[in-house]
Structure 1
Amino acid sequence: MKKKIKFGIIGCSRIAESSTIPAILESKIAEIEIIGSRTTSKAKKFAKKFNCKKYGSYEDVLNDNQVDAVYISVPVGLHEKWSIRAAKAGKHILCEKSSTTSYESAKRMVLESRKNNVRIMEGFMFRFHPSIQKVSELINKKTIGKIFSFQSRYGFPAISKKDIRYQEKLGGGILNDAGCYPICASRILFNEEPKSIYCNLITDKKYKVDEFANILLEFKDGKIAEMNVGYGLFYQSIYEVWGSKGVLSLFRAYNIPADMSALLEINTEKIIKMKVKPVNHFKLMIDYFSKEIQMKSKSNFNFEEDLLKQAQVIEAARKSNKEKRRIKISEII
């Protein structure tokens, strides 16, 4: 395998510009080969900003024989189309979250990747931050005793109604945008899959996209995960894990800037506050993905299976909201 993984960029999004492309440039084992956009002018603008010699359309990226992997950062509703095309072109795929708009779609994406012997990973950068690893370590050490619940709030001030997240056909809405984070975090920290879900989505009547979500996941042995996400709210990015002997709280849990320390609070009658040193979790994600492709290290989770399990839970959330009842995850097949 080549010394560095050469990335092609499919989609010149805000997150690509602010975080993922800079992370690839910072990496010692990955580099940008070509940048693709819907318009040549935007691709050229990004290429100039990031000192990339090659730019063009999405098809140009897929037709480039130098490209080992693609980073897909188009709207959620287009993830399946470009992931399948990338797989058929023999490119490994780092796909922005949420992976897609349905469980059936996720199965098609993974099937095509496996058929073409390429890897596909959903881009949850927070899972690579040492803060969640520290929380997992404390849980495993029984620092707060037997775990009972996970509670999370993730939301932001109002976004423009012209934003793609308000376009139903492009997979907009708070569930795909932010609800996916605490769902993923609860699965990681409980180290198991939920048994059932209840989800209530509050939808903008004009744009027909969900702006707020209240979600309850049930796990085995009575464990629960509660989460509230939304637009037009005071910024929150926090989760707490409550056990028989204490509570673990992580502040700025999901999208933490590379120059900010994560604050972890351990409350077991006495309160201990711990700072986790600043790191670029986007770079950690890029390196982790690249090393797996290079076979330099073995991932502690299966990319494809994790993408499918996450998509299955989110599909169950949609079904719960539509049918106004608790949905067993096993109903989603």
Structure 2
Amino acid sequence: MPVNRAGPVRLGVLGCADIAWRRTLPAVLAEPRLRLVAVASRDGRRAQRFADRFGAAPVTGYDRLLDRDDIDAVYVPLPAGLLPRWVDAALAAGRHVLAEKPLGRTGAEAHDLVARAAARDLVLMENNAFQLHPQHDAVRRLVAAGEIGPLRTVTSVFGIPPLPPEDVRYRPELGGGALLDLGFYPLRAAQMFLGPDLRVVGAHLHPGPSGVDVAGSALLAAPDGAEAAVSFGFGHAYRNAYELWGGEGRLVLERAFTPPPEHRPVLSLHDANGARQRTLRSHHQFAALVADFADAVTTRRSLRQHHEEVIGRAALAEAVRRHAGVEVR
């Protein structure tokens, strides 16, 4: 169990995922309130590769990293099927946790992990980097100002080209599938703009050769009659975007979920006066993510709203699976 100490939060990593290599760990190195100490993998060579690049100690085996006494917090970029076990193990070892999504595959699973973190007075945060980008605040301000009239429909999509056959997202034993990976984003976007009480009124999940869903869509209804249509999949031309359609116009945001740090988002407004565009400022959403985690650990601020969103998103994905006739494991 690490002791309380002044200075940066000492961070360990459980897993050598691509997202850690490309986005999260470079952001960690730039965050002064975090210090990367060790990186663990079941494969010692992978751990060494990450350790060499990011200046950390390599560790073979996740348990061995959690046994170290120089770790205050862990980042867990593991597949969906492994996340609950190792997030729980990290919490049991007294570590604060930043986890990749989905933190829970079901609402109950997410609720249990949140409750365990609260009982141990530990920070538990799901990767919500896309929500930290100020482009979404710009959209909210325009909607609140009545630029498109009453919001009627949210349409949101995230699709990527087919993955290599060996990709972990095709493996059912690791919790693979498009819904828990890409579907996370359009479902969360629907909740951002229509509220948490969405009801699934239609859903379809298309299975691939391995049995996991490789594409899907869902129709959601809000209590006030507004609706959302979401689509996602591994066999598409790359796109991630959402459109808000109101009584008097519509707003369209491309690269809504994965804008590079240097990208300046372009928000399109279409109404009776024609089409016009607003170019927004760039933002490093992964830098914002690790800064948010460091702040939560050092200040112990309440994460109640974040936890409610995590549980609600997991429950919504669970409802999509059930409505599509797919067993929730």
**1:286 maps to what in 2?**
290
Instruction: Say yes or no: does 1:171 pair with 2:175.
Output: yes
**1:308 maps to what in 2?**
311
Q: Measure, in 2, the Cα distance between the counterparts of 1:322 and 1:195.
A: 16
One-letter amino acid of the structure 2 residue matched with residue 264 of structure 1: L
Tell me how far 1:127 sits from its aligned partner: 0.3
CA separation of 1:31/1:297 partners in 2, compared to 1, >3 Å: closer, same or farther? same
**1:7 maps to what in 2?**
11
CA separation of 1:16/1:91 partners in 2, compared to 1, >3 Å: closer, same or farther? same
Superposed CA deviations along residues 27-72 of structure 1, whole A, max 9, x for unmatched, are 2322212111112221111010111245443123222333222111
Identity %: 27
Q: Measure, in 2, the Cα distance between the counterparts of 1:87 and 1:286.
A: 18
Normalised by the size of structure 1, how large is the TM-score?
0.91
After TM superposition, the runs of 4+ consecutive aligned structure 1 residues lying more than 6 A away are: none
- Within a 5 Å distance, the mapping from 1:40-59 to structure 2 comes to 40-53=44-57, 55-59=59-63
Matched residue SS, 2:83: helix
Q: Measure, in 2, the Cα distance between the counterparts of 1:197 and 1:23.
A: 39
Among 120, 145, 148, the alignment partner of 1:144 is: 148
Among 23, 41, 45, the alignment partner of 1:19 is: 23
**2:65 maps to what in 1?**
61
Q: Measure, in 1, the Cα distance between the counterparts of 2:121 and 2:302.
A: 17
Tell me how far 1:323 sits from its aligned partner: 7.1
Q: Measure, in 1, the Cα distance between the counterparts of 2:323 and 2:101.
A: 21
Superposed CA deviations along residues 78-123 of structure 1, whole A, max 9, x for unmatched, are 0110010011111111111122333332233222212222121221
**1:133 maps to what in 2?**
137
Q: Measure, in 1, the Cα distance between the counterparts of 2:124 and 2:301.
A: 16
One-letter amino acid of the structure 1 residue matched with residue 232 of structure 2: V
Tell me how far 1:133 sits from its aligned partner: 1.7
Q: Measure, in 1, the Cα distance between the counterparts of 2:42 and 2:310.
A: 26
| Contact 2:44–2:58 (8 Å) recurs in 1 | no
| Contact 2:123–2:300 (8 Å) recurs in 1 | no
Q: Measure, in 1, the Cα distance between the counterparts of 2:45 and 2:60.
A: 9
Instruction: Say yes or no: does 1:83 pair with 2:87.
Output: yes
Q: Measure, in 2, the Cα distance between the counterparts of 1:108 and 1:255.
A: 29
Superposition RMSD in Å: 2.0
Unpaired segments ≥5 residues, structure 2? none
Normalised by the size of structure 2, how large is the TM-score?
0.92
Tell me how far 1:20 sits from its aligned partner: 0.6
Tell me how far 1:160 sits from its aligned partner: 1.4
Tell me how far 1:166 sits from its aligned partner: 0.5
